[in-house]
Amino acid sequence: MGTSRPRTLRVDDEPDRGHDLRGARDRRTRRDARDGTADRASRGRARRLGSRGRRPRAGVADGDSRIDGIDTATPHRRRDGHRVRRLCRLRPWRRDRDRGGRPSTRADRPRSVARLVAGRPRARAGVGGRTRRSAAAMTIVDPTLAALLLSWNWRADVIVVVLTAAVAYVAGWRRLRQKGHQIAPAWRLVVYLLGLAAILLALVSPIDRLGSLLFLFHMAQHELLTMAAPPLLLLGNPLPVVLWALPPRLRVPIGRALAPGGAARGTLRALTYLPVAWVLYVAILWGWHHPAAYSLSLRLAIVHDAQHLSFFLAAVVFWWPIIDPAPRPRGYVHHAWRVLYAVPAALQSQLLGLIFAFVASRVLYPHYLAVPRVLGFSALEDQSAAGLLMMQVEGFVYLGVVLGLVAGLLRREERMTARREEVTP
C-alpha cells in the first residue's frame, strides 16, 4: 500500500483562500519559530479566539511540533473558520462581545434599518388594549377648524363678476390672436387668469371664513387683494384685450372715452399721478387698519365688502404706474421715478407690519378676543403672526419689483446708448 497523501486545504476549509495552503503555512511557521515571532503571533491569535484558542485540540499529540498549543507540523483547519463565516452572516450588533471584550447590552444595539427609516417604534401594549403605535398614529383635529377648512363661501356676485371678466378677456384675446396682433401673447393670458384666481381664493375659499376667527387669515386675504390680484391683472394688459371682446356698438364709445381728450382718460390720468396714487393707497391701507374702522368691518358685512373693494381698487391705482399697462394716460414713466415710488411704499408696509408683530403690546382688535381659538395660540400671538406675514409677503414683492425696475432701467440705457452710437458717424 502506498503512503497516503496529506490532505490539502480548499475553499471549505479556509474561507478566504482557494488554493493549497500547506506549504505556505509550514514555511511561515518554521520562520516564526526561528525568529521568535511565533510567541507573539500565537498570543495575538489566542486573544482573538478567546478561550477556544487556548484549548488543545483532540487527537493532536503534544510535542516539539506544537508552539503554545498550536500544531505547526500537521495542516489543520483554522479554528475560527466557522466562527468567521458565522459572524459574516450576522450584523455587527449581534456579536456576543464588542471589541473591548465587554458584553454588549440590548440597549446598545440599534434598531433594524427598516424601523429606523420608517420611524415606527415597535408596538407595545397600552391602556385599553391599544398599542403605542396606533395611539401615535391617531391625529386629533379641532372639529371647528376642520369644518372651516372645508367650507367655501360660494358668493354669487363674486363668481359672476370673475367669470364675466374671464370670458371677456379670453374672447378678446382669441380675436386679437386671430388678427395677428402682438399685444396678446400667451403669458398675458396666464397671468390675467392667475389674478382672477387670486380674487376667488381671497373671497370664496375658506380663507374668507377663517378671517373672521383669525387675524392671520384676514391679513392673508388682504394680501391677495392688494399684492397678488392687481399686479397680475395689470400685467395682462386688460383694457385693450377686453375691448376687442365687445361688440362694435360698445367698443367704439368706450375706446373714444379712453382716447386722448376723453373723459375717462382724464380721470385715469389724475388718479395714476405718482403722488396721488401713492397717498391714496397708503391712506386707504392705514385708514382701514384703524381699530374703529376695522372692528366695524368685522361687525357689518356691507362694510366688510366696502373694505375689500376699496383695498382692491386702491391697489389697482397704485400698481398702474409701476406696471404701466395701456392706455398710458401720462405717457412713459421713467424707471427711476418708479423705483422712488415703490421704495417708500415698501417702507410704510414694513412699518405697519412691525406695529402688528412687535410694537403693539395688546390686541388691537377686540373682536379676536371674543371668538374661539382654533389653532391653539392666543389673540396676541395671532396678531403678531399677521404682522410677520405682512412684512414678509410685501417685503418680497417690493424687492422683486425694485429689482425688476432696476434691470429694466439698465436695459433701456443700453438700448439708448446703442442707438446713439448708430446715429453718431
Q: What is the pLDDT of residues 227-246, one digit of tens each?
A: 999 999 999 999 999 999 99
Per-residue pLDDT band at 425 (split at 50, 70, 90): low
Query: Which residue, 75, 71, 83, 63, is CA-closest to 38?
Result: 71
**C-beta separation of 248 from 256 below 8 A:** no
Residues 419, 326: one domain?
Answer: yes
Q: Say if residue 28 is in the same domain as residue 147.
A: no
Spatial CB neighbours of 302, under 8 Å, sequence gap ≥ 6: none
Question: Which contiguous run of DSSP H or E holds residue 331?
Answer: none
What is the DSSP code string of 375-390? SSS-HHHHHHHHHHHH
**Are residues 220 and 79 both part of a single domain?**
no
pLDDT one-digit tens code per residue, 34-68: 555 555 555 555 555 555 555 544 444 444 444 44
Judged against a pLDDT cut of 70, whether residue 104 lies above it is answered with: no
Number of structural domains found in the chain:
2
Does residue 12 fall inside a structural domain?
no
In a domain, 394, yes or no: yes
Q: How far apart are CA 286 and CA 359, in angstroms?
A: 16
Are residue 251 and residue 353 in the same domain, yes or no? Answer: yes
Are 360 and 250 members of one domain? yes
Residue 365 has pLDDT above 90, yes or no: yes
* Same domain, yes or no: 85 and 156: no
The answer to the question of residue 138 being in a domain is no
Rounded percentage of the chain residues whose pLDDT exceeds 70: 65
| Co-location of 163 and 282 in the same domain | yes
Q: Are residues 356 and 258 in the same domain?
A: yes
Pick the last residue of a domain from 44, 59, 89: 89
> Please, is 160 exposed, middle or buried when counting C-beta atoms within 10 Å of its C-beta (0-12, 13-18, 19+)?
exposed
Residue 98 lies inside a defined structural domain of this protein:
no
How far is Cα 153 from Cα 17, in angstroms, rounded to an integer? 78
The model's pLDDT over 371-385, given as tens digits with 9 standing for 90+, comes to 988 888 899 999 999
Place of cell 500544531: 71
Say which residue, 34 or 8, is predicted with more confidence: 34
- 170 and 79, same structural domain? no
pLDDT at 189 over 70: yes
In a domain, 126, yes or no: no
84 and 175 in a single domain? The answer is no
What pLDDT was estimated at residue 261? 83
Q: Are residues 78 and 187 in the same domain?
A: no
Report yes or no on 8 lying in a domain.
Answer: no
- The 8-class DSSP code of residue 94 comes to G
Judged against a pLDDT cut of 50, whether residue 92 lies above it is answered with no
Whether residue 380 is contained in a domain is answered as yes
- Which stretches within 92-235 are classed as H helix? 113-118, 132-137, 143-149, 156-179, 186-203, 206-210, 215-223, 229-235
| Residue 76, domain member (yes or no) | yes
Predicted local distance difference test score (pLDDT) of residue 416? 84
pLDDT at 172 over 50: yes
H or E stretch at 181: none
* Last-in-domain residue among 44, 72, 89: 89
Alpha helices in 261-364 (DSSP H): 263-271, 274-288, 291-299, 301-323, 335-354
Instruction: Tell me the residue range of the domain where 334 lies.
Output: 143-423
- Of 72, 89, 106, the one marking the end of a domain is 89
On whether both 270 and 403 belong to a single domain, the answer is yes
| Per-residue pLDDT at 127 exceeds 90 | no
pLDDT of residue 140: 47
